[in-house]
Each structure stands twice: as C-alpha cells, then as structure tokens.
Structure 1
Amino acid sequence: GLQALNIPIMLNEQYKKGLGDTLPEIRDVLEGDNAKSFEKITFSACDNDDSWHYLAQQNRSIVLLFGVEAHVCVMQTALDLLDNG
C-alpha cells in the first residue's frame, strides 16, 4: 500500500553482524524505488545519522512506525521523533 501511494519506506536493521539480516520474505516486499535500508547499532533510528538524514529529507510531519522490539527500539524511536517534532 505504501509503495502504491509512493510513500517513502525506511527499513532500519539492528546490528546485522550479531542479529542477522532481515528475512528475504520481508526485505523483498520493502524493496523499491522509494525504499531505503540502513543498519543501526543504536536503539533509536533517530540516533543513526544516515537514517535521521533520510527521514529529515522527506519533510513529513507523520511517520508510521512498525517494529519488533517495541519495548526498546520502537519506543525509543517514537520518543525521539516526538522530541524532534
């Protein structure tokens, strides 16, 4: 749906060396012209310079946030997004 509406998609992978890559079945769905992937070693995607720069370039006021580690990575990213307007 996001791809059909040309809404940018950003995939952040936590510490790929230790945790591994995103499953191919998920990655394949998220690939496209409007999708970017970044590796991070911080809990918040906002603390990763590449992710934050890409997000800021989108100039959007609404972010749909999905993730697995809701108690850490998702929550910290959500809090940081709120702190940054």
Structure 2
Amino acid sequence: MPLLTAKNATLVVIDFQAKLMPAIHDGEKVLLNAGRLAEAARLLGVPAVLTEQYPRGLGATVPALAEVGPAVTKMSFDACGEPAFLEAVAGDRELVVCGCEAHVCVGQTVLTLLEHRRRVVVVADAIGSRVPQSREIALARMASHGAEIVTTEMVLFEWLRSAEHPQFRPVSKLIR
C-alpha cells in the first residue's frame, strides 16, 4: 500500500540532541518539523521510538522532543546495532524516520532497516546534517536503496486521510 497509515506506523526519532542541534544546517526548521511529527503521532496514537547517540558527549534529547518517550541509548551510529532499538521496531509496521545526522546515524539506520526488508519512509524536511550537501547525498542514497522520501505534510495528511478524521483540526493546526 503506497499511502501511509497511522494504524500501521511507528515514528523513529533519531538523535535530536542538545549539543548536536546548534551545528545542524536549518536545525530550527528540522526540529520544528520533527516536533510536528511527534505531536501528530501522539494525537493519532502512533507509537514512537527515540534514540540518543552517546548522550554523555552529545547531551540528552532536546526538550521539544524529550516527551516522545524513553530514549534508546546507543554508541553505534546505526541504531540497529542496539538490540533495544531492534526490539522497539520489531514487527512489520512502516517506519517513519526523522533525525540527525542524515548522512551518519539516519542513513546507516535506514540502510540497515531496508536490508531487513522494512518499509522505511524518510521525512526529508525533518532530517538534517551539518552540511547541506551531506543531507542531499544521504537522501539520494537512501532513496536509491528503496527508502521513500516524503515531507512532514505528506505524513500528516496521509495519517489523517480525511477532513472528517476526529483529530483533523488539531493535526492540521500543526502546519499552519
């Protein structure tokens, strides 16, 4: 099924950490869109998985996303290298991914999830890197291996499917 569904999705929030975000190109915009995804997931009952790369060095998740849930702490750039992450995303749910950095932790995680034959949807306007070119090349690489590339608005409206959805007003307000 090409369209995303809230009932079969898991939001994967990768490494939005306090010491990393100031270095991310357009970091405020990336964080804003990740926050929109997280709030829509909360409103629509979409489970979320949060990761933190070496929090002792990069700090905890930024406050705007800390309520997504308990973080899976990792040292491996690829979140799939952490058994707790694999447990959190086990099953066949489609994985909607946002995070930093696109060309390191996001990219490696997405490529491994694709190797595991998972449906992976990367939210282009909710991932970032320090250098724009690294982000663009990472998006192209992930797409060439089978990741679907979407925007925040695409996810929200596909999760809703209709203006008659009971959560239409609060979710649509997220993008105004």
> In which range does the TM-score fall when normalised by the shorter chain?
0.7 to 0.9
Is the Cα contact below 8 Å between 1:43 and 1:77 reproduced in 2?
yes
Structure 2 SS opposite 1:64: strand
Structure 1: give runs of 5+ residues left out of the alignment.
none
**Corresponding letter in the other structure for 2:103:** H
Q: Which has the larger radius of gyration?
A: 2
Matched, 1:63 2:103: no
Matches within 5 A, 1:14-53: 14-28=53-67, 30=68, 35-53=69-87
Tell me the matched-pair count.
Answer: 78
Query: SS in structure 1 opposite 2:89?
Result: helix
C-alpha RMSD over aligned residues: 1.2
Matched residue type, 1:82: L
- In structure 2, what is the Cα distance between the partners aligned to 1:61 and 1:9? 11
Aligned counterparts of 1:8 and 1:47: Cα–Cα separation in 2: 21
CA distance in 2, matches of 1:53, 1:65: 16
Q: Distance in 1 between matches of 2:41 and 2:54?
A: 26
What is the aligned-residue identity percentage?
36
Stretches (4+) displaced over 3 A: none
TM-score, L = length of structure 1? 0.83
Quote the Cα distance in structure 1 between the aligned partners of 2:93 and 2:115: 13
Report whether the alignment pairs 1:8 with 2:40.
no
Q: Which runs of 5+ in 2 are unaligned?
A: 1-39, 118-176
Q: Deviations over 1:55-77 (max 9, x none)?
A: 10xx2341111111001000000
